[in-house]
Each structure stands twice: as structure tokens, then as C-alpha cells.
Amino acid sequence: MVLHSISLPPGVFGGDEVEQFFLNRLDHDAHPYFDGLRGLQVSAHFFLRRDGRVLQFVSCDRRAWHAGRSHWQGRDNCNDWSIGIELEGLEGDRFDLPQYRALVALLRALRARYPIGQIVGHEHVAPVRKHDPGPGFDWAALRRRLRWPKAMFAAGSPTRADAADPGQIAR
């Protein structure tokens, strides 16, 4: 399981640009930032909106193109064997409570169906290239809410100094 963050254009939330990007329908002329995305084919299994809505783009039984050049625990090409979850957000910024609630519910549902070994960030599987979801993502609170073994999370997962109260994230 690989967690990511994305917003298009960066720092803008609520539009349909990420959805259009994942569907290869993005109007590259609609914003100057989009010109640099021409020719890229990117997808994720899931996209979690700021309000907690969950959108699925690719079946979990199929490959999505979310990790790029990646490596984790002796295995290359994480796209071949992982599920990618994109959170609407900006690398380094905080994420919203409804997203954490939706993420907890989604991860529990996925674990009931698939043999999830670990939950890591894009920053873990492509550390030189990527830094998302970044220091604004509250790994400690996610671990507390899921109550899954610590070994299921990347060793050294960044934690925010001001981690959310465990009662604030969905049970």
C-alpha cells in the first residue's frame, strides 16, 4: 500500500483536474502548470478528497501507475504489486480529518480482502524523487486509529510533532 498526495494545480483543491489527469483527459492548456504534465500517464487505485469522498480509478486487481521508478524491501517497480492511494493535498501540508476517517475505513476494507504487508508513503519507495505525502501526514495517528502492528508501517515513518489527538480520527 503506497500513500501519496496530489493537487492540481498545486495547492488548489476541489476541482476535477486530478480526476481528469487520472483519466488521461486533462486539458493541458487550462493552466500553465499542466503543460509540464503533457505525455504523462498517471493513475491511482483510489483518490481521497478533502471532504472524505473516495473515488476509485483502477481495480485493486490491476496495476495502476502511481509509484513510478520505485523500490521497497528488495523489490523494484512498486506499481506491479502495490495499491496506490492518493490524498488530495499538497506535499508537506496537513490533511483534513474527513480524509483520515475515509483512509482508515478504506484501509480496513482493503485489508479484509487483500494481504496487505505494509503501508508506506511515496517518500519511502522513491525517496530521492518524491517526498509525499510528506511531513504534514500524521502517521502516528493513522497507526493509533488502525491499531495494526507497528511492523505494518514503514520504519522511520515521519510523524508530526503536533500529532492529532487519537479521539479525533475515525474509530
Q: Does position 155 have pLDDT exceeding 80, yes or no?
A: no
Report pLDDT digits (tens) over 99-145: 999 999 999 999 999 999 999 999 999 999 999 999 999 999 999 99
91 included as an active-site residue = no
Give the burial string for 144-156 (b: 16+ CB within 10 Å, else e).
bbbebeeebbbee
Which residues are CB-contacts of 97 (< 8 A; sequence separation ≥ 6)?
A: 164, 168, 169
Rounded Cα gap, residues 120 and 27, in angstroms = 31
Check: CB of residue 3 under 8 Å from CB of residue 121: yes
Catalytic residue among 17, 19, 86, 123: 86
> Cell for 55?
473515488
pLDDT digits (tens, 9 = 90+) for 26-70: 999 999 999 999 999 899 999 999 999 999 999 999 999 999 999
SS3 6: strand
Strands 54-56 and 46-48: antiparallel
Sorted by where each starts, the structural domains of the chain and their CATH numbers stand as 2-157 (3.40.80.10)
